[in-house]
Structure 1
Amino acid sequence: MAVPTETLELRLKGQAATLGFAACRIAPADVAPQAGARLREWLDAGHHGDMLWMADRADERASPQGLWPEVRSVIMLGMSYAPGRDPLALADVGDRARFSVYAQGKDYHDVVKKALKALARWLVEQQPGALKVFVDTAPVMEKPLAAGAGLGWQGKHSNLVSRDHGSWLFLGAIYTEIPLTPDAPERDHCGTCTACQTACPTDAFPAPYMVDARRCISYLTIEHKGPIPHDLRAGIGNRVYGCDDCLAACPWNKFADVAAANRAFVGRAELAAPEIADLLALDDAGFREIFSGSPIKRIGRNRMVRNAAIAAGNSADPRLIARLQPLLADADPVVAEAALWAIEKLSAHRA
């Protein structure tokens, strides 16, 4: 009896695993018809804050066909960055700064895109056809597409949750004209759990499955360029780049396979628990030297020092006043204002 030939889809998934992806699933291009309406509702509520690029290309973002009418299949891929240690371990260590887990290793944009391009070349060799690859920077709604392809489901924190990898997947997409057999979508397994909602220090969830970026610590420390609202500063604690609280709180993380994490995302030792005092002293050259090859480099020195000043103000450590004082004359008025706020808060604490 003849042995059945392995399908292109199975060979594709095997090649994806060889290239470092922990998950690979396929969806039809029209898999998430409700995503566009949810996006517009979110934008109309102003939940995108200063991220004007979300609204500028909303029609393209709403569906794969909106960006590329010829697309027939969407290949969704996940690369694991499951942490080997507790992301919340430094929550009560006031003089140390906290970086989000995803940012402590190599820049995921570079790592994932390189692997996506390699997989795309392999696919074209197997079956010629036009395709496009995307990692985060294009108008692509990766999370609903990933859920539709079966990588996981969008949890109440709006991020993807996987039964095998928890909340720790970087997502990439390949749009292709090649008709591929789709996988079954994943159903929602959140149930009555609200752990991610209650874990948020700044109450950024107006409702389950919806995040108001204007209150989200990741948005405030990374995307937002101006002064951070005073009423949200205490909730930021010692976080200087991003926040893992809602992700780390998810019970599904107990099933996350740490061994599946890509080695490129293992955290650099110097980012595990840096002193806030050292971050306050950064100039532009020092910032670029430390964060070269890291996604952190995108925010620049000024936003990093602004964030460090907020963390200093929350530290209850008056010794940091001496490090903050030179920043009162900083060329960036946002940095100077944050330093003044921190000094006033620490002085009141000392008194």
Structure 2
Amino acid sequence: MPRTIDPARLNRFLAAEAARLGFSAHGVADPSRLTKTDSRLREFLALGRHGSMEWLADRADERANPRNLWPEVRSVVMLGMNYGPQGDPLELLGRKDRAAISVYARNRDYHDLIKGRLKEFAGRLVARFGGDVKVFVDTAPVMEKPLAELAGLGWQGKHTNLVSRDCGSWLFLGAIFSTLELPADMPEKDHCGSCRACLDICPTNAFPAAYQLDARRCISYLTIEAKEQVPHEFRRAMGNRIYGCDDCLAACPWNKFAGQTNEAKLAARHDLEAPPLAELLALDDASFRSFFSGSPIKRIGRDRFIRNVLIAAGNSGQHALVEPVRAHLSDPSPLVRGMAVWALSRLLPHHEFATLAEAAVNETEPEIAAEWRAGLEPTGRPQ
């Protein structure tokens, strides 16, 4: 193993391997330079902005400092893969009978897409330069975005996501921890300037301030992480977003450069680009698992997924969805039944909803009974 590594030789190797394996960006970070990460993470957790994501707090020490996770790490090779969409994902928000799925989830699970390539990259790094390595793709307490900024891949924008001058806000990130003292790249500077596009477009006002996120208000959190019913105050704002939210990413002006690169982007599954809500409402557990095989959506389970689709149905204004929604009033899952009630309160005239409510007097779940009562109140009706 060489005691020193020529930066030019390393850069040639990283560039060649990144291109060969389909990565759009690469760089090396010195983990000892993560000086502000710990205090920002502690503040985020102390304010409770992580919501029910207790895994963020459980391993906060390791997350804040890579050497708490693996004491031998001396360098981190960061890699980014462009997953930018072919068109504007926000156009789908106007098609109320269709489901809007976050761009990143329209293909195979990105963990599966990247991890194999990352392991191959790491193996060739060891073969060429020596040392020991560990690879991570959002599967361990690793602060990928601050490390990517240190490695020069981009900067954390006001929406807290990484922004690249070449790929905009559309980058999957992977990390290779190495015991080698690799020459580090220069961190990227913040190029957001006075722009507020990502902050102003947020439907639920999830950003208390620039560079700060309250996950409890974020539609991505509400549709993916939250296991309980979505609070009433956010349901209408969700529109037809059933898994994740791309608004703050899609609004970033730096995205205009993402299409100028020559690399092949990840192609979305055609049937996930604008699936009809009616078809998704018909999924039982077996068909849900089959339809979303290999997709990150499968991880949230059928009940949470149908909960999200029912909210979209309630926001659709489509009377044709009344019967597919009504069918879920007898669903075994309280999570699904409760949201079916809410959706019908939005889709049906008051007298029809009241008739249904009379037949539901034997509902034993307090939360679902509360949904029926709320639907009968004037404030619970469509506006």
TM-score band w.r.t. shorter chain: over 0.9
CA-to-partner distance for each residue in 1:200-240, whole Å, 9 max, x for gaps? Answer: 00110011101111000001001111100001000100011
Partner of 2:297: 296
Matches within 5 A, 1:252-291: 252-257=254-259, 259-260=261-262, 262-263=264-265, 265-291=266-292
Residue ranges of structure 2 left out of the alignment (5+ in a row): 1-5, 350-380
CA distance in 2, matches of 1:5, 1:36: 29
- Tell me if the contact between 1:82 and 1:261 (Cα under 8 Å) persists in the aligned partners: no
CA distance in 2, matches of 1:113, 1:5: 26
- Tell me if the contact between 1:157 and 1:210 (Cα under 8 Å) persists in the aligned partners: yes
Could you state the TM-score of these two structures normalised by the residue count of structure 1?
0.96
- Tell me if the contact between 2:289 and 2:298 (Cα under 8 Å) persists in the aligned partners: yes
Query: CA 1:261–1:87 in 2, change beyond 3 Å: closer, same or farther?
Result: farther
CA distance in 1, matches of 2:12, 2:116: 21
Partner of 1:190: 192
What amino acid is aligned across from residue 215 of structure 2 in structure 1?
A: A
Alpha-carbon distance, 1:130 to partner: 1.1
Please tell me whether Structure 1 or Structure 2 has the larger radius of gyration of its CA atoms.
Answer: 2
Partner of 1:118: 120
Pairs aligned (count): 347
Alpha-carbon distance, 1:31 to partner: 2.3
CA distance in 1, matches of 2:167, 2:212: 22
- Tell me if the contact between 1:26 and 1:182 (Cα under 8 Å) persists in the aligned partners: yes
CA distance in 2, matches of 1:248, 1:44: 30
For residue 88 of structure 1, give the secondary structure of its aligned residue in structure 2.
helix
- Greater shift, 198-207 or 249-258, is seen at 249-258
Partner of 1:20: 22
For residue 256 of structure 1, give the secondary structure of its aligned residue in structure 2.
helix
Alpha-carbon distance, 1:257 to partner: 3.0
Query: CA 1:56–1:260 in 2, change beyond 3 Å: closer, same or farther?
Result: farther
- Tell me if the contact between 2:7 and 2:183 (Cα under 8 Å) persists in the aligned partners: no
What amino acid is aligned across from residue 133 of structure 1 in structure 2?
A: V
Partner of 1:326: 327
CA distance in 2, matches of 1:166, 1:72: 29
What amino acid is aligned across from residue 327 of structure 1 in structure 2?
A: H
CA distance in 2, matches of 1:298, 1:258: 33
Matches within 5 A, 1:230-269: 230-257=232-259, 259-260=261-262, 262-263=264-265, 265-269=266-270
Matches within 5 A, 1:50-61: 50-61=52-63
Query: CA 1:305–1:316 in 2, change beyond 3 Å: closer, same or farther?
Result: same
Q: Which of 205, 228, 231 in structure 2 is aligned with 1:229?
A: 231
For residue 75 of structure 1, give the secondary structure of its aligned residue in structure 2.
strand
CA distance in 2, matches of 1:137, 1:233: 30
Q: Does 1:146 align with 2:148?
A: yes
Partner of 1:203: 205
CA-to-partner distance for each residue in 1:282-339, whole Å, 9 max, x for gaps? Answer: 1011111111111111111111100000000000112211111111111110110000
Q: Does 1:84 align with 2:86?
A: yes
Partner of 1:47: 49
CA distance in 1, matches of 2:341, 2:280: 16
RMSD: 1.6
Q: Does 1:340 align with 2:341?
A: yes
CA distance in 1, matches of 2:180, 2:290: 43
CA distance in 2, matches of 1:129, 1:262: 32
- Tell me if the contact between 1:218 and 1:241 (Cα under 8 Å) persists in the aligned partners: yes
- Tell me if the contact between 1:79 and 1:261 (Cα under 8 Å) persists in the aligned partners: no
CA-to-partner distance for each residue in 1:244-288, whole Å, 9 max, x for gaps? Answer: 00000001111113655555x311111111111111111011111
- Tell me if the contact between 1:82 and 1:258 (Cα under 8 Å) persists in the aligned partners: no
CA-to-partner distance for each residue in 1:93-138, whole Å, 9 max, x for gaps? Answer: 1111100011101211011101100001101111221111000121
- Tell me if the contact between 1:31 and 1:145 (Cα under 8 Å) persists in the aligned partners: no
Q: Which of 167, 178, 193 in structure 1 is aligned with 2:169?
A: 167
What amino acid is aligned across from residue 152 of structure 1 in structure 2?
A: G
- Greater shift, 196-205 or 290-299, is seen at 290-299
CA distance in 1, matches of 2:15, 2:97: 45
Query: CA 1:201–1:140 in 2, change beyond 3 Å: closer, same or farther?
Result: same
User: Runs of at least 4 residues of structure 1 off by over 2 A?
Assistant: 257-263, 348-351
Partner of 2:107: 105
Query: CA 1:324–1:166 in 2, change beyond 3 Å: closer, same or farther?
Result: same
For residue 314 of structure 1, give the secondary structure of its aligned residue in structure 2.
helix
Alpha-carbon distance, 1:69 to partner: 1.1
CA distance in 1, matches of 2:231, 2:342: 11
Q: Which of 8, 11, 28 in structure 2 is aligned with 1:9?
A: 11
CA-to-partner distance for each residue in 1:39-85, whole Å, 9 max, x for gaps? Answer: 01000000001100000000000011111111100111001101111
Q: Does 1:177 align with 2:179?
A: yes
For residue 91 of structure 1, give the secondary structure of its aligned residue in structure 2.
helix
Higher relative contact order (CA 8 A, sep 6+): 1
Residue ranges of structure 1 left out of the alignment (5+ in a row): none
CA distance in 2, matches of 1:153, 1:350: 41
Partner of 2:34: 32
- Greater shift, 11-20 or 78-87, is seen at 11-20
What amino acid is aligned across from residue 128 of structure 2 in structure 1?
A: Q
Partner of 2:353: none
- Tell me if the contact between 2:166 and 2:261 (Cα under 8 Å) persists in the aligned partners: no
Alpha-carbon distance, 1:12 to partner: 2.2
For residue 81 of structure 2, give the secondary structure of its aligned residue in structure 1.
strand
Could you state the TM-score of these two structures normalised by the residue count of structure 2?
0.88
